Chains A and B, each alone.
Chain A
């Protein structure tokens, strides 16, 4: 019996279902030689949280990877992965960095 329960818990915990909440893309540049990406996420128990700070983290991470340059063609994905009672919210951003 305990084995069965363990199997169910393992199945539910590992089998995350992903919801793609939003996608956006900006103008793609001619020079596409330097693709950079960044992501930020947070974990929620029962979907409860009091802040959305992880969104700002993603932007800071992306910005820091192209200091003094231009970031264009930014693809932004906002997705949520649902595990058993736990949710992972993610912002994944990638773009082309151009430095003169």
Chain B
């Protein structure tokens, strides 16, 4: 029980930020005043193998421990290969990001688009974030 509480505390308190990818676009400051706009979408993700590993440590009897280890190995094999962050359950979560960006800048005069792929991780659980920052050109200034 103590182990479980300790692990939960570490997972909840030990939030960590990660950056995977940064891309800067051209910035036009000659057309007028720039107003920052930003769109951020996030998807819940989980490293199942790590969860099984936690289960193995928490398990009280050897049979359960062995079973957790087998599950962990199987999950690690299934998720093997190159990837960015933890696997997510919905791979379309960033598809409407352009529409959301235009909603914040109805004139459509957008410059300085930055694509940032980042994440907030809490042990085996993470929020896989796609963030688009940009500047909306305020015409008439």
Contacts and interface: CB of A to CB of B under 8 A. Distances in A.
Contact of B22 (A50, A62, A76): A76
Contact of B27 (A47, A62, A78): A62
Nearest to A96: B26
A50 B28 CA distance: 31
Interface string B2-27: 00000000000011111111111111
Contacts of B114: 55, 59
Q: Majority SS of interface residues in chain A?
A: mixed
A24 B24 contact: yes
B92 interface: no
Contacts of B19: 21, 52, 55, 78, 89
B16 A76 contact: no
Contacts of B25: 26, 74
A52 B17 contact: yes
B96 interface: no
A63 B113 CA distance: 12
A72 B25 CA distance: 8
A27 B28 CA distance: 13
Interface in A43-63: 47-52, 55-56, 58-59, 62-63
Contact of A50 (B16, B26, B29): B16
Contacts of B15: 50
Contact of B29 (A51, A56, A68): A68
A26 B16 CA distance: 30
Interface of A: 21-22, 24, 26-27, 47-52, 55-56, 58-59, 62-63, 66-74, 76, 78, 89, 91, 93, 95, 99-100
Given A68-B30, A74-B25, A78-B21, 9 more contacts: A21-B19, A26-B24, A47-B16, A59-B24, A66-B27, A70-B28, A71-B27, A74-B24, A89-B19
6 contacts: A21-B20, A52-B19, A59-B133, A68-B30, A78-B19, A95-B24
